[in-house]
Structure 1
Amino acid sequence: MLHVLTHQILPVFSMLALGFLLGRANKISREEAAAINRVGFLVLQPALLFPLVSGLDFSEFRVDAMAIYVGCQVVLFALAFAVAHLLLRRDVIEAWLLAMAVVFVNSVLYILPIAQLMHDGEAGIPIRAVVAWDSAVSFPFFIITTDLLVNRGGSTGKTLKRIAGNPVLIAVLLGLLCNIVALTVPAPVMTALDFAGAAAAPMTLFALGVILSGQSLLPTPTVTAISALKLIGFPALAWVMLHLGERPEEWNTLLLLCAAGPSGAMAFALAMLHGVRTDQIAPVIIWTSVLSLLSLAWLA
């Protein structure tokens, strides 16, 4: 456990921590971090996602295991939204993004690098399956629905134009298209994408750390409840459901590892993009990132 923590998990977490510390020390400004984050979102994440999606072998994925994982996401999302909106009195859009923070794990930028360090550059098939689901379905779903919620009553044409021009969605769709038609992408193009994509996780985590450094860490009732649902509720439900039926132990172990991961930074990014308050979402990401260190080390 200690070796996994020091050799696989902390090196990935260190970029988030470094950004947080430099932000608190006023060495890197929020504006500079926002620019880094923008480059990461517009250029590096699409470069990371396209090869991942286009190179997936869907025949390797166990439908039963993924159905359980996705079912747990749906249940926890509904529960978290109800708690945030009805019990904690958060408005619809903020409650939507807080619920997203419960079920949308930082699989691409956090769990995937950890898994690659653990397996000499290759993540396990269950990890790749979750990354594929998050990249191709979950993240596009939240991008689209959040835009629709924020722009209710707005021009349908403008909304569709914004969605269609999202570089992450474009990369995912192109990757799926290449995968489905078995299109071979030229080797120099893939080399360029791999080169750029390798910087996506460290740059984005660093920028996120700087941006989050300006947020309060106060564990309010909302922060406590949402963090508890993320760190305890989601993995607990996944653990129970994954023990139903028979499947390779690797699937149970690695899907549980994903469920126990910290909240994905994209909930915070979408809140910033659409001008939604972040004073509750940001601490959730910080606390789940810190508190998940030991649980991830233990599960790994």
Structure 2
Amino acid sequence: MNAVASALIPIFGVIVLGWALRRSGLVRKELWLGVNTLSYQALLPALLFSTISRADYAGLPAGPFLIAVTLGFLVMGVICLALKPLPVDGPAYTSLFQGGVRWNGFVLLALAASAFGAEGGALAALVFAPTVPLINVMCVVVLTLWGASDVKPDARRVAMRIVTNPLIIACLLGALANALGLFQTGPVADTAALAGRAALPLILMAIGAGLDFSALKARPQLLSLSISLKLILAPLVFIVLGRMFGVEGVPLMLLAAIGSTPGAAASYVLASELGGDTRLMAGHVTATTLLAFLAMPFWIWVAGL
């Protein structure tokens, strides 16, 4: 068993634990919202700040890597837009679009350090800064145009949500601290590191708690297409772009991992708010979470050839 598969087993084990806790009723359904909020607003930002602020980026291809990542999501957005002529209703199309471009960065963070070492963990943390605003803008625009909701998002409100996003702020502060040599050791660094260690287990359990197997029956043909976009086409796009920009070794394998991560639970929330097909979105997140256990090791292996 290779290192990637070995690293994925405990990750998916914690996801299964979260599902079991919800199904058993040991942790009530309404409590998972608080777990998500705590992780997103405090614990994950602490992890990103701690990782980026103390990482050694000397010699790492951070520039080409981030360019390839950003272009990868843009290319997937263009490909998904090209599918608009398909004979599907607007809400279903928006969920197909989200399925093709949204990714679960939390699974990547959990995998990166254990499978790729400090280099992988440092680069994985950087990805959030450019991709969070880009993906949110693309998805909000598509849902605004083709979603079924009468509530259209205000551009200023969307911009404020991006500017005040705790993940982006943590990335920027971490990069600033890294550049200035601040908080490398001491109480602030130790506090951020300690809080950050609680982030990934809680987030992974929350992912498991949100799995909805009944949604796998919703629109099977569209679901198959959205899964193919996420777990077959996207990793191929990221690997090709990485090679075009001279990315190789661990950073290229990390690009493959980004492309083949499962769908993000946030896509279901956005579909609920702006009139997407929530059942299709729930099915996509559930199916890709399960199938990523096979897809991620395969595409990482391809990138390492």
TM-score, scaled relative to structure 1: 0.79
Please give the per-residue CA displacement for 1:165-214, whole angstroms capped at 9, x wherever unaligned.
Answer: 44334323333443454444662112111111112111112122212247
| Partner of residue 132, structure 2 | 139
CA RMSD of aligned residues (A): 3.3
Structure 1 residues 179-188 or 224-233, which shifts more? 179-188
Please give the per-residue CA displacement for 1:208-242, whole angstroms capped at 9, x wherever unaligned.
Answer: 22122475222622221111011111122334444
1:103 pairs, out of 67, 85, 101, with 101
| Partner of residue 113, structure 1 | 110
Structure 1 stretches of at least 4 aligned residues deviating more than 6 Å after TM superposition: none
CA contact (8 A) 1:20 1:212 kept: yes
CA distance 1:174–1:242, change in 2 (3 Å): closer
| Partner of residue 147, structure 2 | none
Provide the rounded CA distance (Å) in 1 between the counterparts of 2:119 and 2:231: 22
| Partner of residue 21, structure 1 | 20
Instruction: Indicate the percent of aligned positions where both proteins have the same amino acid.
Output: 25
Deviation at 1:147, TM superposition (A): 6.0
| Partner of residue 295, structure 2 | 295
Provide the rounded CA distance (Å) in 2 between the counterparts of 1:294 and 1:155: 39
| Partner of residue 186, structure 2 | 187
Structure 1 residues 142-151 or 74-83, which shifts more? 142-151
Provide the rounded CA distance (Å) in 1 between the counterparts of 2:137 and 2:261: 24
| Partner of residue 227, structure 1 | 227
Provide the rounded CA distance (Å) in 2 between the counterparts of 1:163 and 1:207: 23
| Partner of residue 237, structure 1 | 237
1:188 maps to a residue whose letter is P
SS in 2 for 1:216: helix
Provide the rounded CA distance (Å) in 2 between the counterparts of 1:286 and 1:46: 25
Provide the rounded CA distance (Å) in 1 between the counterparts of 2:67 and 2:158: 31
Provide the rounded CA distance (Å) in 1 between the counterparts of 2:289 and 2:12: 8
1:19 maps to a residue whose letter is G
Q: Gaps (5+ residues) in structure 2?
A: 145-150
1:229 maps to a residue whose letter is L
Q: Gaps (5+ residues) in structure 1?
A: none
1:173 aligns with 2:168: no
Provide the rounded CA distance (Å) in 1 between the counterparts of 2:254 and 2:66: 11
Please give the per-residue CA displacement for 1:134-190, whole angstroms capped at 9, x wherever unaligned.
Answer: x1111133345656766647484x555555544334323333443454444662112
CA distance 1:229–1:53, change in 2 (3 Å): same
1:124 pairs, out of 94, 99, 119, with 119
